[in-house]
Structure formats: C-alpha cells, structure tokens
Amino acid sequence: MARCSVCGAPAVAYIRYQRRYLCRDHYIEFVEGKVRRAMEKYRMLGKGYRVLVALSGGKDSAALLGALASLREKLGYELVAIHIDLGIYEYSVKSREAAEGLARKLGVPLIVVPLKEVLGATIPELARMSGRPACSVCGMVKRYVTNAAAVELEADALALGHNADDLAVYNLKSFLNQDLEAISKLGPKTDSVPGVAVGRIRPLYTVYEKESFLYAYLKGLPFVHEDCPFVENQQMERQLKEVVNKLEEEKPGTKVQLVSKLALRIRDYPKPRGEIRRCKACGLIASGDLCALDKLTLRLFGEPRGPRIREWIRERARELGLIPRRPVEAAAN
Amino acid sequence: MVPETVKVRLVPEGEEREVEVGEKGVKVRDLVKMLGLNPEAVVVLRGGAPLVDTDIVKPGERVDVVRVLSGGCMSLG
C-alpha cells in the first residue's frame, strides 16, 4: 500500500507532477495551500473583504466554499453565498439541495434566487421563448444575477469555482476561435467597476478538476455529481478537456503551467472594445443602452426585469441581516 | 473456476462492467486504461475509499470509477 510522503499514513492520492503521495489530511492541506497561494499571489482578497461565493451545487463550488471557509479565520474575510435555482427540472432541485446543505454545513449565509419566481421564467422556458441555446441564456443570466447580488451586498469580490482544467479549455477554445478578447477575461481576477460591476476572483485557478473533486469528496461536502440535461451543447469543451488531459497524462504539470503562464500574460490580451456603460433600466454594467438581461427580458416580457431582480435580492439580503453592511471589525463570520 | 474479474461501476453513468484482471489483480492505473479512460479524468473508489495509481485491485473486488468532469457547464463569466 502506498504511504503518504509527508507522514507515512495510508495515501489517498498521488500528485504526479510533484511525485508525492498524500494521506487524507495532507491532501486537504495540499489543496487548501494551493488555494491560499493563488489568492495571495494574485492578490484576490484582503482583510475585512466581503466575498460573495457563487454556488452551482457541483463539486467545484463545494471545493471553493470549503477551502474559503477553512481559510477565512486566518485571512480575515467574510463569506456570503448565492445559488440560482435555474429551474432545469430535477437537476436544479438536486443542485439547490446540495448548495443549501453545503452553506449550512460551513456556516455561510446563503441567498437562493429562484429564477421562476424572480425573473418569471426558468432557463428552459427562456431558451424556448428566445430561440437561443440554453447554455448561452444560462451563462448570461448567471453572470447578471451574481453580479447584481454582489453589487447589492456591497461585496468586494465575487468568487467563482472555475478550476485549472476549465480555464485551460476556455483558453484553448478562445484561441481556436481567435477570440482574444475572451482570453483577456480568463485571468485569476477581474477588476471591479465601482457601482456597476464587482470584480471576480478564481481561487481554484491552479486546482485541477480531479483535485477539486477529491477535495470535496474527502471533506464530505455535499455536491451533485451528474450532468446537466443540456450538456450535449458543450461538445467542444468536452473534447478539449480530453485533449488537455492527454497532454497532462504524457507530461504531468502541463495544466498548472498553462494557467500560470496565462495569468502572467493576461494583461497582454486585448480587452473587449467599446466603453463600459451603465444600463438605463437597472443601472448595472452594459455595453449598450441596456444590459443583456434587460434587453432580453424587454423583448420577451415587454419590460426589463433587471430592476426586479435587484430589488428581490436587496429584500432577501435585508431579511438575512446582510445589508446595511456592518463595519469591518464586526464582519467576521 | 472462479472468473478472475473485477466489477466496475462507472459513475455518474451508472453503467456496470466486468474486467478480466488475472489472478494477481491489476494496478488501478492499468485498470483505468483497460477501460479506455484517462487516469487524469477519474477517481477510483473501493468501498468509498480513494485508491492511488499503484494500488492493486484484486479479482472479486468491486470498485467505482468516478468521472470527475460533471455538470458539463463551463460557462465562464
């Protein structure tokens, strides 16, 4: 039986690119160390920060919240979580249960946004009504709601659970499409635009997908481990994941190098053209007169529904005592 | 003669497979490759406990081979 390279206890993982076996405790320490180093290296968080964590209910958001919760006392930030109930049938029911169980277990206040109630339609309904692919509508809605919540909560950062594999794949996909502006958004963090957009951070930037799964599993964190029914829409991403894993298999460490180099050169990629504007309906970030969500809801429902989402989140945050935001000294949770 | 096989359950698909491994069993890493999978993309569990590449799975044992990629959604903001 393989033994932990640190303490000699039975090993649960072999880190090929470091040629180390690790037991459960040292494996957890290893992943949390990776998260901590990435947060420090890329200056993601500071003392007294309020961090809003986006929970999908899957393994990556479980690992994200688990690691952030373990490090919060040492690093001195406050955590709040958000989950969007997308209304994708049974998948969303299970995802919501997992997100609720996770936040409860880790003692993090959670805002659940049920799309059907708050926006008036689920993702499958929005896709049908608009004639757009479900994944495209879903991505746009998630970006809107998480940003709106981060603004309402006066969060200093919005934490997302993208792992190294996700970033490697999106980098390659964007490169194949020569969408260099898209690559400019794949760094460890993006900047805030005061009042309209909260900067995003990716604490799992250097954590492999497999590491994220094993971490969440070994810590006993609740997560849903199944495919979204719309997954067949993402064939190219899946194929690229296989390609990246083949490279990793042949040359261990490929993925960590890829994301580290990407982070190093991220500022050299061109940013999307056009000035940053304020949506005339909801006041949040937009590239034209209206933001993407208000444009879509105006077309589908005859009214922009961003303001309604913002108001709904504000009320929930007030009920939970999260706003008005307490002074930094009293914010530890 | 007892067949020298390992029972494998693929997760999350739920598909069950029997793999011939010989009387001495097989290393986890080789078992995963015999299934046509990349070791980088799966975690192998025996009785719920994660196994490492060099652990041996013996005939008659059952393992779960968990595909770590799930959800499928990689929309990046």
Q: What are the tens digits of pLDDT across the range A207-250? A: 999 999 999 999 999 999 988 999 877 788 889 999 999 999 99
A residues 271..330 contacting B (CB < 8 A): none
- Residue spans per domain, chain B: 5-62
| pLDDT bracket for residue A326 (50, 70, 90) | confident
Chain A residues with CB under 8 Å of B76 CB are 160, 162, 166-167, 170, 185-186
Inform me whether the pLDDT recorded for B77 exceeds 60: no
Chain A residues with CB under 8 Å of B30 CB are none
Average pLDDT on A303-313 reads 98
Q: Give me the percent of chain B exceeding a pLDDT of 70.
A: 88
Inform me whether the pLDDT recorded for B3 exceeds 90: no
Query: Pick from B5, B4, B12, B2: which is nearest to B45 by CA?
Result: B12
* B46, closest residue in chain A (CA to CA): A12
> What's the length of chain A?
333
- Whole-angstrom distance, CA of residue A187 vs CA of residue A201: 8
Average pLDDT on B13-21 reads 94
Subunit contact B70:A218, Cβ cutoff 8 A? no
| pLDDT bracket for residue B73 (50, 70, 90) | low
What's residue A328's pLDDT? 58
Subunit contact B77:A135, Cβ cutoff 8 A? no
Of B55, B69, B71, the CB nearest to A1: B55
Chain A residues with CB under 8 Å of B53 CB are 14, 16
Q: What are the tens digits of pLDDT across the range A53-103? A: 999 999 999 999 999 999 999 999 999 999 999 999 999 999 999 999 999
Q: Closest approach of chain A CAs to the CA of B13, in angstroms?
A: 8
Q: What are the tens digits of pLDDT across the range A92-123? A: 999 999 999 999 999 999 999 999 999 999 99
Element (H, E) at A307: helix A306-319
Q: What are the tens digits of pLDDT across the range A194-210? A: 999 999 999 999 999 99
Edge-to-edge strands, sheet with B5-11: B16-20, B5-11, B62-67, B42-46, B49-50
Chain B residues with CB under 8 Å of A186 CB are 76
* ipTM associated with this complex: 0.94
Subunit contact B38:A2, Cβ cutoff 8 A? no
What's residue A45's pLDDT? 94
**Domains of chain A and CATH, by start:** 28-226+235-325 (3.40.50.620)
What's residue A37's pLDDT? 98
- Whole-angstrom distance, CA of residue A143 vs CA of residue A315: 20
What's residue A333's pLDDT? 46
Q: Give me the percent of chain A exceeding a pLDDT of 90.
A: 92
Of A12, A13, A210, the CB nearest to B40: A210
Q: Number of Cβ pairs closer than 8 Å across A and B?
A: 107
Average pLDDT on A165-186 reads 95
Secondary structure (3-state) at A321: coil
| pLDDT bracket for residue A332 (50, 70, 90) | very low
What's residue A232's pLDDT? 76
Quick one: fold of B5-62? Answer: Ubiquitin-like (UB roll) (3.10.20)
Of B49, B66, B69, the CB nearest to A241: B69
| pLDDT bracket for residue A161 (50, 70, 90) | very high
| pLDDT bracket for residue A312 (50, 70, 90) | very high
Q: What are the tens digits of pLDDT across the range A177-187? A: 999 999 999 99
CB A64 within 8 A of CB A45: no
Subunit contact A245:B38, Cβ cutoff 8 A? yes
* Residue that is written with structure tokens 């209910």 in the block: A57
Q: What is the mean pLDDT of chain A?
A: 95
Strands A50-55 and B26-27: unpaired
A residues 128..167 contacting B (CB < 8 A): 135, 138-139, 142-143, 146, 160, 162, 165-167
